[in-house]
Amino acid sequence: MIIKEIMTQDVEVIHPGESLQTAAKKMRDHDIGFLPVYDGSQLIGVLTDRDIAIRAIAKGADSKMPLNPDLITAPAIFCFEDQSVDDATELMHDKQVRRLVILKRGSKQLAGVVSLGDLAVNIDDKISGEVLEGVSMP
């Protein structure tokens, strides 16, 4: 099975220069905790709800403050849409990430996102459990 078959294709993004408040509102409105930071032509990194809490709010950042490199997790961990689900699960396990950005091979344009939830719904329970265990290790 390839990643394209299980990934979420309709991905909400945040653009460099948008505010922390805009990011938080997108996360709230779409019930997500992860936004690829995308300038329209390339992936810059990712922003998580944890990044907002730990890297911004805990340091006293103003919610109107635009995104900057100190707030963004970069480089983003990614796979290409034509790679196997096994490749994705191995990468998620090894890098201890719960979500992967999926890019189109060649153009490196954003294609989607694969999350632990996507794995749990679409692949063997044993495999998704192993990935969850690997991601959760200290």
* Structural domains of the chain, ranges and CATH numbers in brackets: 3-136 (3.10.580.10)
* Mean of pLDDT values over 4-16: 94
For range 8-15, the mean pLDDT = 94
User: Is the pLDDT confidence value at 33 over 80?
Assistant: yes
pLDDT at 138: 60
In this predicted structure, what is the pLDDT of residue 31? 94
**Whole-number Å distance between alpha carbons of 126 and 11:** 27
Number of Cβ within 10 Å of residue 115's Cβ equals: 19
Give the integer Cα–Cα distance in Å for 57 and 51: 9
For residue 109, how many other CB atoms are within 10 A of its CB? 14
Q: Is the pLDDT of residue 137 over 60?
A: no
Across 37-42, average pLDDT: 88
Report residue 6 as tokens: 């299980």
**CA Rg value for the chain:** 15
* SS3 state of residue 51: helix
Per-residue model confidence (pLDDT) at position 128: 46
pTM attached to this predicted model: 0.83
Mean of pLDDT values over 60-76:
90
Burial class (CB in 10 A: 0-12, 13-18, 19+), 7: buried
Q: What is the DSSP string of 52-73?
A: IIIIIGGGT--TTPBP-TTTSB
What's residue 61's pLDDT?
87
d(CA 51, CA 39): 19
pLDDT at 35: 97
Select the more confidently predicted residue: 101 or 136: 101
pLDDT-derived band of residue 120, with 50, 70 and 90 as boundaries? confident
Question: Which pLDDT does position 122 carry in this prediction?
Answer: 73
